């Protein structure tokens, strides 16, 4: 077993710092950015929404995006895909087991949260954004409707404060779920502002998005709403994945800035795993 990484205290100004860093990383290879957005949209459209099977899409692809961000950082935008794949192929087993374990726990969590939201909706007679969105997009093809709903679910999963750091540790030291969850929990207690921000986004960002797209579908056009919703959901997933990676990188490695851009890079020099 690789040695665990010690969580650190995040320096002030993290929101602005990570925004500038993710902009720097994704602009190093615009073709990579567009391909990742396309990959997210395709996964959202095609992945089934039955019995939380989407979990087996979310974490492997999120892990791949983490390795792309790592490659964009360390390679300086050169040889990005070969660099990311060289590392990812050694982590596929860990990502599979992480997805399976989280699928079990998130299925229980999802059932609990669904019961709570249904109870609140019936008690306060408040509109449910997810069901409203689904109803207003009934006329569009299944895959377009599926893309919006899956995209929002993916965004919410990654906004959970535990998700990004646990995924980062899985790629860094392997799939040791209890150890990785413990280290993440310790790190979040050291950075409670980020913990509260994550909880706020997790519980309050998805519903306004659902209701906005649902309103657009009813007021303007379901087709335009579906296309716009798919694109915006993919952008939201890309941004949240990037913030999760940069938070985890600083939390466990203390890295507060990207590496400088390079004119050349040897793929075989790329090393991530610790210990």
* pLDDT band at residue 136 under the 50/70/90 scheme: confident
Instruction: Please give the model's pTM, rounded to 2 decimal places.
Output: 0.86
Confidence check: pLDDT of 125 > 50: no
* pLDDT band at residue 22 under the 50/70/90 scheme: very high
What are the extents of the domains in the chain? Answer: 14-257
Kindly compute the dihedral angle of the four CA atoms of residues 193, 194, 197, 199, in this order, to the nearest 10 degrees: -110
Residue-averaged pLDDT of the chain: 85
As a whole number of angstroms, the distance between CA 106 and CA 94 comes to 18
- Contact predicate 272/171, CB 8 Å: yes
Confidence check: pLDDT of 23 > 70: yes
pLDDT the model gives residue 9 = 95
Among residues 270, 250, 252, 233, the alpha carbon closest in space to that of 158 is found at: 233
- Contact predicate 80/127, CB 8 Å: no
Q: What share of the chain is helix, strand, coil (3-state, %, to 5)?
A: 75, 0, 25
Other C-beta atoms closer than 10 Å to the C-beta of 273 total: 12
Could you report the per-residue pLDDT of 57-95, keeping only the tens digit for each?
Answer: 889 999 999 999 998 988 776 678 888 888 888 888 899
pLDDT the model gives residue 31 = 92
Could you report the per-residue pLDDT of 182-238, keeping only the tens digit for each?
Answer: 999 999 999 999 999 998 998 888 888 888 888 888 888 999 999 999 999 999 999
**For 16-41, what is the mean pLDDT?**
95
The share of the chain scoring above pLDDT 90, in percent, equals: 47
Is pLDDT larger for residue 2 or for residue 245?
Answer: 245
């Amino acid at each position: 077993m690789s040695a665990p990484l010690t969580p650190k205290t995040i320096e002030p100004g993290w929101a602005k710092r990570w925004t500038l860093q993710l902009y720097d990383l994704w602009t190093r290879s615009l073709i990579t950015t567009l391909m990742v957005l396309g990959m997210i949209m395709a996964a959202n459209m095609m992945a089934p929404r039955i019995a939380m099977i989407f979990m087996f899409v979310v974490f492997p692809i999120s892990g791949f995006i983490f390795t792309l961000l790592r490659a964009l950082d360390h390679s300086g935008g050169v040889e990005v895909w070969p660099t990311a794949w060289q590392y990812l192929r050694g982590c596929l087993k860990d990502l599979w087991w992480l997805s399976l374990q989280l699928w079990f726990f998130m299925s229980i969590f999802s059932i609990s949260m669904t019961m709570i939201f249904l109870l609140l909706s019936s008690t306060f007679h408040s509109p449910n954004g997810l069901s409203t969105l689904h109803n207003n997009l009934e006329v569009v093809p299944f895959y377009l409707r599926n893309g919006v709903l899956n995209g929002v679910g993916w965004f919410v999963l990654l906004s959970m404060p535990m998700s990004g750091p646990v995924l980062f540790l899985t790629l860094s030291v392997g799939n040791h779920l209890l150890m990785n969850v413990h280290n993440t929990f310790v790190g979040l207690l050291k950075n409670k502002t980020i913990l509260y921000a994550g909880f706020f986004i997790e519980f309050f960002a998805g519903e306004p998005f659902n209701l906005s797209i649902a309103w657009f579908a009813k007021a303007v056009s379901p087709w335009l709403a579906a296309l716009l919703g798919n694109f915006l959901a993919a952008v939201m997933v890309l941004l949240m994945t990037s913030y999760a990676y940069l938070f985890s990188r600083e939390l466990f490695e203390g890295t507060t800035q990207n590496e400088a851009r390079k004119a050349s890079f040897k793929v075989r020099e790329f090393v991530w795993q610790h210990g």
